[in-house]
Amino acid sequence: MARQILLGGAWVDGKGKPFNGINPANGSVIDEIGTPSVEQVNQACDAAWTAARKPAWRNMMGHQRAAILHRAADVVMERKESLARAQMLDNGKTIGECREQVVGTAGIIRYFAAVCETLEGEVTPARGNFMSMTVYEPFGVIACITPYNSPLTLGAQKLAAALAAGNGCVLKPSEITTISSLELGRAFVDAGLPEGLLSVLPGNREVGRAMIEHPKTGMVSFTGGTATGRAIAEMAAKRLIPALLELGGKSPNIVFEDADLDLTIPGIPYAAFSSMGQSCTTGTRLFVQQSIFKDFLKRLVEHTSRIRIGLPPDEKAMLGPCSSFRDRERIEGYVAKGVAEGGKIEIGGKRPEGAAFAKGAYYTPTIFTGLDNNATPCREEIFGPVLCVLPFKNEDDLLAQANDTVFGLAAGVWTRDFGKAWRTARALDAGTVWINTYRQSSVACPFGGFKESGIGREKGPQGVRVYQQAKSLYWGLGALPWHKDLAAK
């Protein structure tokens, strides 16, 4: 029997065509996953709309709504090991990283609970005989669509914020990470979320399309690739509903000649290869100043060779497999293109050896040199452990190359010079810039991209506001201009 779907807070059999969830570590079937019919998608959206409009939720005090979210965070932590293992089986992340992400998931939910309890409206400066103020109302139903790389944290980032804002949610996770996403939904429901407010609907793009096209859906929140994001934006535009889009990246990571190399060189493999390079912010274009390029590259290759690839349950493993076999095929295709375009593989570029890896979607961290910034691996998001190393002469040359991309999600700068770090960070076309670090993250900071890396911002207090719409209220303090004339006998 296929695993049930979450529809309006209840566990039901999906009426769509089921599919198999595959463990990328060994190719085995984890479970058969049920999917909804279009009719069930419509039921989910209707249920979320009805529940969100009920006074019990719509008029619930902020601290009461926050209490439900805090209980959801408690449930997540109580199920830390089972949630971590569910994600590990889904997408092949190491068990250590999965446990860290469960803790992060609970932290995200708690943060938005705190924001929910402390959000305020504003009294605005009056420009007449009235008092004016701004309040914020939920959109009603949020269609949430998440990718496979971090289903727990990214799912919580959308659900907790949208629920804190007073909405109902319908979540479609990636087909690769359905089990962990369903279990995240279970945590919210078991924490006492009112009936109808949340559905988790596994399935293909047709499920997502039905969610977006439903007349009760008031907003779309999507994290994933730019091509899919553009298609979602078109669907949302036809309905004149807002779309929050966190899309792809091709992030430059910049090393100046005055950088602290003992800090920088171990940091670069983490920026490029952690999570198997399957992160939208991964520093996949490494710009190294010409004067230190040769020696830096030698040390970088040496440090990269120390990365431990292992089976996901291995507590000492630094990397597991790619999230799917299809992902590995795509990565191998990009490596082949890099070689065809004149690139030299300094390390990696192949599957790891050994019987333990034979049945899984494993791939070794790969470093390219000899490519210019116009090469295919330097222009397109690979979403895998492939790093292109390019030289630059000076700040002007660096900025010209770093900003020569359609993406603008993130960047890194390594230097001891505060002024240089400030100038470079401000000049980079990126929504996040790390200075002498990389991939550090805070739910309290806005996150999103420039250019084709997205529209809007998640996280921070505005991570709740983005799921609300402003309403102006005017309180009259006296008569209107015609009162005297019209009231005269």
- pLDDT, tens digit, 9 for 90 and up, residues 208-224: 999 999 999 999 999 99
The runs of H, that is alpha helices, within 191-324 are 205-213, 226-239, 261-273, 293-304
Q: What is the mean pLDDT of residues 31-55?
A: 98
324 plus 463 within the same structural domain: no
- As a whole-number percent, the residues of the chain with pLDDT over 90 amount to 98
Q: Which residue among the candidates 183, 346, 452, 458 is catalytic per the annotation?
A: 458
The answer on 270 and 239 residing in a single domain is no
Selecting among 45, 169, 280, 378, the annotated active-site residue is 280
Q: What CATH number corresponds to the domain at position 16? A: 3.40.605.10
Is residue 483 a part of any domain in this protein? no
Percentages (nearest 5) of helix, strand, coil residues in the chain? 45, 20, 35
Confidence bin at 489 (pLDDT 50/70/90): low
Question: Residue 242's pLDDT is what?
Answer: 98
Catalytic residue among 97, 246, 346, 452: 246
Q: How many domains would you assign to the chain? A: 2
Beta bridge partners of 473: 133
Quick one: which of 190, 184, 175 has its CA closest to 152?
Answer: 184
Establish if 152 belongs to a structural domain: yes
State the pLDDT at residue 487.
86
Q: What is the pLDDT of residues 365-416, one digit of tens each?
A: 999 999 999 999 999 999 999 999 999 999 999 999 999 999 999 999 999 9
**pLDDT single digits (tens) 118-149:** 999 999 998 999 999 999 999 999 999 999 99
- Kindly state whether residues 425 and 365 are assigned to the same domain: yes
Task: List strands edge to edge, sheet with 410-414.
Answer: 344-347, 366-369, 386-392, 285-289, 252-255, 410-414, 432-435
Q: Which two tokens stand for residue 457?
A: 């911002």
257 and 243 fall within a common domain:
no
User: Average pLDDT, stretch 340-360?
Assistant: 97
Which of 387, 409, 435 is the C-terminal boundary of a domain?
Answer: 435
pLDDT at 269 over 70: yes
Whether residue 166 sits in one domain with residue 257:
no
Active-site residue, 257 included: no
pLDDT of residue 428: 98
Q: Which two tokens stand for residue 123?
A: 């009294």
Q: Residue 242 belongs to what domain range?
A: 5-247+449-473
Amino acid at residue number 72: A
DSSP state of 447: B
| Length, in residues, of the chain | 489
Asked if 173 and 57 sit in the same domain, the reply is: yes
Reported as half-sphere exposure (CB side, CA atoms, 13 A), residue 86 has a value of: 22
Tokens of 207: 């499920």
pLDDT for 484 equals 87
310 close to 291: Cβ distance less than 8 angstroms: no
* 298 is known as an active-site residue: no
Which element (helix H / strand E) includes 223?
Answer: strand 219-223
User: Does one domain contain both 96 and 114?
Assistant: yes
Q: Is 329 a catalytic residue?
A: no
250 is known as an active-site residue? no
At 488 the pLDDT is 77
C-alpha 76/C-alpha 99 separation (Å) is 11
In a domain, 478, yes or no: no
Grouping H, G, I as helix, E, B as strand and the rest as coil, residue 249 is coil
Same domain, 11 and 146: yes
- Taking the model in full, what pTM does it have? 0.96
Residue 135 placed within a domain: yes
Nearest to 218 by CA among 260, 169, 176: 169
Are 216 and 273 part of one and the same domain? no
| Among 138, 278, 144, residue whose Cα is nearest residue 223 | 144
* Marked catalytic residue, from 45, 97, 144, 158: 158
Helix axes 418-427, 395-402, angle to 10 degrees: 30
Give yes or no: residues 131 and 275 share one domain: no
What digits encode the pLDDT tens for the residues 146-176? 999 999 999 999 999 999 999 999 999 999 9
What is the spatial distance between Cα 220 and Cα 215, in angstroms, rounded to a whole number? 12
My answer on whether 131 and 202 are in the same domain is yes
Buried/exposed 291-328: b ≥16 CB within 10 Å, e otherwise: ebbeebbebbbeebeebebbbbeeeebbbbbbbbeebb
Mean pLDDT of 445-454: 97
Would you state the pLDDT for residue 107?
Answer: 98
Can you state the angle between helices 80-91 and 95-118, rounded to 10 degrees?
120
Claim to verify: residue 464 and residue 369 sit in the same structural domain: no
Q: How much is the pLDDT for 165?
A: 98
